[in-house]
Amino acid sequence: MLVTFWVIATFTFFLMQTLPGSPFNDERLSESQKERLYERYGMDEPVPLQYITYMKNIFKGDFGVSFQYDGRSVSNIIGERIGASAVLGTQSLIVGTILGIILGIIAALRHNTSIDYGAMVISVIGISVPNFVFAGLLQYWVGVRLQWLPVAFWEGFEYSILPTISLSVFVIATIARFMRTEMLDVLGQDYIVTARAKGLNGFSIIIKHSLRNAAIPIVTILGPMTVSLLTGTLVIEKIFSVPGLGEQFVKSIMTNDFPVIMGVTLFYSILFIGIVLIVDILYGIIDPRIRLSGGVK
Amino acid sequence: MIIKNKELTDEMFLPAKSRNSTEQISRPANTYWQDVWRRFRKNKAAFTGLILITLILLLAIFGPYANHYGYDEQNLSRANLPPKIPILERFPWIGFNGVDINGVDKYEESKVTGYYWFGTDNLGRDLWTRIWKGTRISLYIAFLAATIDLIIGVAYGGISAYYGGRIDNMMQRIIEVLVGIPHLIVVILLILVLQPGIISITLAMVITGWVGMARIVRGQVLKLKEHEYILASKTLGAKNTRMIWKHLIPNSMGPIIITTMFTIPTAIFTEAFLSFIGLGLQPPIASLGTLINDGYKLLRIYPHMLAFSAIIISLIMISFNLVGDGLRDALDPKMRK
C-alpha cells in the first residue's frame, strides 16, 4: 500500500522533472526574473534535494503552489474543486447502483424471456458506448433540442441531472450484468427452495434471501467502478462545464501547471488506494466466510 | 438361410459384421476449435458483432479510397456541409439530403456540386475520408496495444507461474504495486512526457495494460501445471521451452484470446478519451477520438460532425464486447450462465 503510493509519488516527480517546456517560458521575462521565479518555486535546487522536500511536503499534505493561479496552494485548489465532483460521483454511484440492481433482478427473475434479453441488450450498450458519446447525445437532444434541462454549468440540482445520467449509465450496465449472474446463481440454491417451501411470498424471498446474498460480490466491483467514475468525471465535467476536480485537471494539463497535475494525480491515487483497502475490509465484514478462511488478500 | 447344394463358398467364411456398428464413430471428431466455431456461430449477437467488425475493418481499409477527397484537403468554400448521398437524398427524413438542422440546403447556399457522404468539417475536409482514416488509426493503435500486451503478459505470467518459488514471489510483488496504480493517471502522465503520437499513445497504454494479461496467464498456468499430462511430459524429458510452448500456452489460449478481445475496445476507448482531454494525436492526422473532440465544438450547429464518428466508435465497442462475450461462452461452455 505505502509502497504503491511511494512508487506513484516518485514516478510522478521524475516524470514532471523530465517534462519538456517550463511554465515560465515567457519571452517577456528576463533571465534574472526567471531565476527569481525558479528560486521562489524551489526549482533551482539540485534534483535530489527537490525530491526530499517534495516527499516531506506530501506527508504534511502540502502539494506545493500552483504556477497558474498565483500563490494558491494545490491543496486549496483541490479542496475548492472537490465538492462538485464528489456530488456528481456520489449521485451517479447511488442512482447507478439502485437502477442496476433493479434491472439485474428483473432480468434474473424473467430469465430467458424477452425482458431478460432486453435488459442485457441495454447493459451491453451501456458498457460499450463511451460516456462522452452518451453525454453528447443527451446534451444535444434533451438540452439543445428539447430544452428541458440546462446543458452546462453548476448552479443547482437540475444542472447535475444530465451529467449524473451520463456518468451512471456505465454503473447501471455493469451492476445489472453482475447482479443478473449472481441472482441466477443464488436463485438455484437450496435455501431459496427451502424458503419457498416454508411458504414465504416471492417478494420477501427476493429481498431477504436472494438480494442479500447476491449483493455481496458487488462490493468487489466497487474498486474498478470508482476508477471508471473518476475517468468519467474528467470527460463529463469538461463536456458539461462542471467546476469539479476533473475539469481542473484537464485544464491544468492544457496549461502545463505541473504542481496541480502532480497534486491531483496523487490525490486520485490516494483515493483509489483507499477505496481498494476499504473494499477489502468491507468484504471481510459482509461475508464472514472469507475472514474465517483467512482469505483477505 | 438354407444352404441348398451343400456347397461351401468362400463368402460364407467372411467374418460377421459387427453388431454394434451404431456405436462406431463414423465421422472424424470435431477438433476443439471446430467446436468453438460451431458454438460461436450459434450465438446470434456475437456473430452479428463479428460481421460488423469485418465490415468496419474493410471500410477502414478501403473507405478512404472510395472518393477522391484527401483526408487533409482543406477548402473553406465547402466548409460545414451536412451529409448528402446520391440516392438517399430523395428521402429527406433520413437526413442525407444536404439540408442542415435549420432547413437550409447548404449545398445550394455555398454553390457546391458533388456529394459529401458524411458532410464536411469546419475546414471543408471530407468527413467520410477522415472518419475512415481515423478509424484505421484508432484500430491500429488498439491492435498494436493489444498485441504488445499479449506478448509481455504471456511471457511475464508464464515465466512467473512456471518457475514459481522466489521468482514468482518477486514478480508478483511488482505486479501488486502496478495494479495499485490507477491506470489512467499513468497514461496521462506518460503522454505528457512523451508528447502525443501513435507510438507514444500505444506505449503509454501498454505500460500498465499488460498486468491483467499476466495475471490471467499466471493463474491458468498454475492450474495447468498440476495436470498429469504435464507430469508425463516432464517424465519423458521434455525441456522447459517445449513444455511452455507446446503444452502450457496452447492450453491457456482460451482466456488469452478473451482477454485480448476485451483489451481492444478498452484501448480504443482510452485513445478516444486521451484525445478528448487534449492529449490526442495532432492534426491533420485524425483518430476517432480527435474527430469526436472536434465534433463537440460545433455540436449545437452542426450535429453531423459528431454523429458519424460517435456512431462508429460505439459500433466498434459494442461489436468487440459482443464478440468477446460470445467467445467466452464458446471457448468455455461450462462458464455459461
CB A65 within 8 A of CB A73: yes
- Concatenated DSSP letters for B66-135? SSS--TT---GGGTTPPPB-TTGGG-GGGS-BSB-TTS-BHHHHTT--S--TT-B-TT--BHHHHHHHHH
Residue B237 to chain A, least CA–CA distance (Å):
37
> How big is the CA angle at A231 (ends B146 and B147), to the nearest 5 degrees?
5
Q: What is the pLDDT of residues B52-78, one digit of tens each?
A: 999 988 888 887 777 777 666 667 666
Q: Which amino acid is at A255?
A: T
Kindly identify which residue of chain A lies nearest to residue B322, measuring between CA atoms: A124
Q: A129, A184, A280: which to substitute to probe chain B, counting the most B Cβ within 10 Å?
A: A129
Q: Considering only CB atoms, which residues of chain A are within 8 Å of chain B?
A: 1, 3-5, 7-8, 11-12, 15, 18-20, 124-125, 127-130, 132-133, 136-137, 139-140, 144, 181, 184-185, 227, 230-231, 234-235, 238-239, 250, 253-254, 261, 265, 268-269, 272-273, 276
Q: Crossing angle for the helix pair A222-239 and A74-109, nearest 10 degrees?
A: 120
Q: What is the mean pLDDT of residues B230-258?
A: 84
CA B123, distance to chain mean position in Å, is 32
Kindly identify which residue of chain B lies nearest to residue A226, measuring between CA atoms: B182
Render the burial of B290-323: b for 16+ CB within 10 Å, e for the rest. Answer: bbbbbbbeebeebbbbbbbbbebbbbbbbbbbbb
Residue A251 has a pLDDT of 83
State yes or no: pLDDT of A297 exceeds 70: no
State yes or no: pLDDT of A296 exceeds 50: no
Within 8 A of B276 by CB-CB distance, chain A residues are: 132, 235, 238
State yes or no: pLDDT of B41 exceeds 50: yes
Residue A294 has a pLDDT of 46
State yes or no: pLDDT of B25 exceeds 70: no
Q: What is the mean pLDDT of residues A235-242?
A: 83
Q: Which amino acid is at A96?
A: G
Residue B101 has a pLDDT of 66
Residue B118 has a pLDDT of 73
CB-based contact, B82 to chain A, within 8 Å: no
Question: Radius of gyration of chain B from Cα atoms?
Answer: 29
Say whether A65 sits in a helix, a strand or coil.
Answer: strand
- What ipTM goes with this model? 0.78
Q: What is the mean pLDDT of residues A80-104?
A: 86
Q: What is the pLDDT of residues B239-252, one digit of tens each?
A: 888 887 888 888 88
Residue B337 has a pLDDT of 42
Q: What is the pLDDT of residues B215-224, one digit of tens each?
A: 888 888 888 8
Q: Which of A84, A115, A8 is nearest to B188 (CA)?
A: A8
Residue B296 to chain A, least CA–CA distance (Å):
7
Q: A13, A128, A235: which to substitute to probe chain B, counting the most B Cβ within 10 Å?
A: A128
Q: Which of B330, B336, B332, B337 is nearest to B49 (CA)?
A: B330
Q: What is the pLDDT of residues A123-136, one digit of tens each?
A: 888 888 888 888 88
Q: What is the pLDDT of residues A2-46, one digit of tens each?
A: 777 777 777 777 777 766 555 565 666 676 776 777 666 666 667
Q: What is the mean pLDDT of residues B15-39?
A: 73
- B45, B176, B193: residue with CB nearest A15: B193
State yes or no: pLDDT of B81 exceeds 80: no
pTM: 0.80
Lowest mean pLDDT among A4-18, A233-247, B83-97: B83-97
Q: What percent of chain B has pLDDT over 90?
A: 2
CB A37 within 8 A of CB A28: no
